[in-house]
Amino acid sequence: MIRKSLYLTMRDGVRIAVDVYLPRQPRDGKTPAVLHQTRYQRGVIMHAPFDRVVKTWIADSARKSREFFVKNGYAWIDVDARGSGASFGNRPCPWYEEEVRDGADIVDWIIRQPWSNGAVGATGISYTGTTAEMLLVNRHPAVKAAIPRFSLFDVFTDVAFPGGMHQFYFTKYWGRMNKGFDRNDPHEVLGMWLGIMSRGLLEKARMDPQAAGRIASAADRAALSLMEKIVKGVRPADDDPDYKTVQEAVADHAVNFDVHEAAVNMTFRDDATPSALAPRLGSVTVDYFSPHTYAEKIDNPGCAVFSYGGWWDMAYQHAAIKRHMTLSNPHNRLIIGPWDHAGRHNIGPTHNAQPCNYDHNAELLRFFDFHLKGKDTGMDPVPRVRWFTMGQAQWKSADTWPPRARNTELYLGPKRSLTFEAPAKHGADSYVVDYDAGSGDLSRWTSGVGATVNYSDRKWRDRRLLVYESAPLARDMEVTGHPVVTLHVTSTASDGYFIAYLEETTPLGAVRYVTEGNLRAIHRKESRKKPPYALCVPYHTFLREDAMPMVPGEPARIAFDLLPTSYLFRRGNRIRLALSGADRHHYINPPGQPPSLLFHRGGRQASFLRLPVVEP
């Protein structure tokens, strides 16, 4: 494999750092290219003497894919996105329009190279998955295929404000991480990641939270000190041996957008943030840099999109589904496996995270070979959708999503039961929200910042929640699709959080996490407007004009979807619904005293869980 690092000059004069990797002996003389644009530094270098003994791939998440594709006859292009890494410019917001246009300039350069066959694909994970998707906004004719992996489609709902609730600890961490990269401190970022790992181990050990926090902070400091001694910073271009050009580029990044600061000041989707770096934009909302806003441009008959996600990866499996349902190219594909963020691990209901044994790169190669090399790889005709059913450990497929299912209701009943028949008489259960409730530091949400998912036995967390449970199931029940919960609630507050956990209880009393959903009460209005993308769940706009506070003391209807799943509940086990008003590990508790809630059941105010049940 041959690597060359250089700067490309964009249409406005901004210089972008690029690494080009080529096979030593292209099989056909010409080769397609895979474009990978990141804001997390395309590579790092080490301080002496560690530059001789420490591999630079400790901060190189694309290494395995890059080596695989170059070995299979592709050029691989790593790019430091505008305003990041060794590139010049700044970032008024993520996926800024000039950053998106840079992609087209880079593709123009690629197809002019003597080794290019004129076809380009794009892929990436998380932020880089979105750059791959946003590249399609340019509608460049050379871009034939894109594989956004483990990435968002709607910035507001998929990561920053799921259910309209600010995912405070994620944006805080992500903002801090971005600042570390922008200062050219990848050692700080690596130290933070090691700190997350230490907190995860402490969480797994169920230590006292205060003691765990002190130990984790000490681990953070120790990890940072170690990384500072090893890692120098972002890799320079080949013509920058004294590192001066990198230092000039990094100076541009000092004014970059602070994603956490913007999120803290948001409540509604249309809340705007003034853009000091790009005055002509005025104020921008989160939709300005969200892929779903540009779906009509992304939906291109000349470019196929493979949406790639995992059941345990934040809300990104729903993002992949929404993308696939919205785009119309018949060559598009969707896959969702039993994976956490980036597909590092297989997660199951009865075991902790295990190293992923699925060959992701081979899956990507089949798609790119078909669209960029014209090879018959079996991609067409095949069912367009594949997913993994947990609890059954079986892959399944269909031509569309969601698969055919029968909606089955389980009603909140007396004595905290879940019943398949609606109670005839009205009843109600009281619950005072416990602000110490949480879902842990090893959740689907922290998976997005590198933690390993481990929900363990949920029964000790459920002690703080309001729990309803069915009788033992008489037969296996497969739930595949989008569960929806409808609650009739009276509150002492005008706002608040509603979180629902779908779980399975074994005959021995162990409680297994399946999925969850949530909604902030002020966003509860169900809109009849046409959604901006394809949806098969209740639609909440999250717009200021649609705000609907609760009236203290009066019953309110609150309906929301749980994150999609495919799960086989086993015969003899029970279905459990656990209701909460707080998750201290991910959301800042609302101001004021914890509200007192009254959950109504039966009669005209029946509350229920609707499950999409697939018949055997």
Gap between the Cα atoms of 574 and 417, Å rounded:
10
Angle, to 10 degrees, between the axis of helix 209-230 and the axis of helix 186-204? 150
| Structural contact between residues 16 and 104, judged by C-beta atoms closer than 8 angstroms | no
Q: Which of 258, 253, 126 is nearest to 184 (CA)?
A: 253
Which residue among 5, 65, 87, 126 is the active-site one? 126
Residue the block writes with tokens 């609890």: 391
* Strand-pair partners of 308: 149, 335
Secondary structure letter of residue 156 according to DSSP: I
Active site residue 439: no
Active site residue 140: no
Active site residue 258: no
Gap between the Cα atoms of 190 and 194, Å rounded:
6
> What is the DSSP pairing of strand 466-470 with strand 417-419?
parallel
Gap between the Cα atoms of 496 and 491, Å rounded:
9
Q: Which of 112, 110, 150, 143 is nearest to 297 (CA)?
A: 143
| Structural contact between residues 314 and 158, judged by C-beta atoms closer than 8 angstroms | yes
Q: Residue type at 332?
A: N
Q: Return all residues near 540 (Cβ < 8 A) that are at least 6 apart.
A: 164, 519, 523, 524, 525, 526, 527, 546, 560
| Structural contact between residues 235 and 45, judged by C-beta atoms closer than 8 angstroms | yes
Which residue among 260, 341, 523, 540 is the active-site one? 341
Q: What is the 3-state secondary structure (H, E, C) of 439-492?
A: CCCCCCCHHHHCCCCCCCCCHHHHCCCEEEEECCCCCCEEEEECCEEEEEEEEC
Gap between the Cα atoms of 68 and 433, Å rounded:
51
Which residue among 313, 429, 462, 561 is the active-site one? 313
Task: Please report which helix (H) or strand (E) contains residue 539, including its range.
Answer: none
Query: What residues are annotated to the active site?
Result: 126, 313, 341
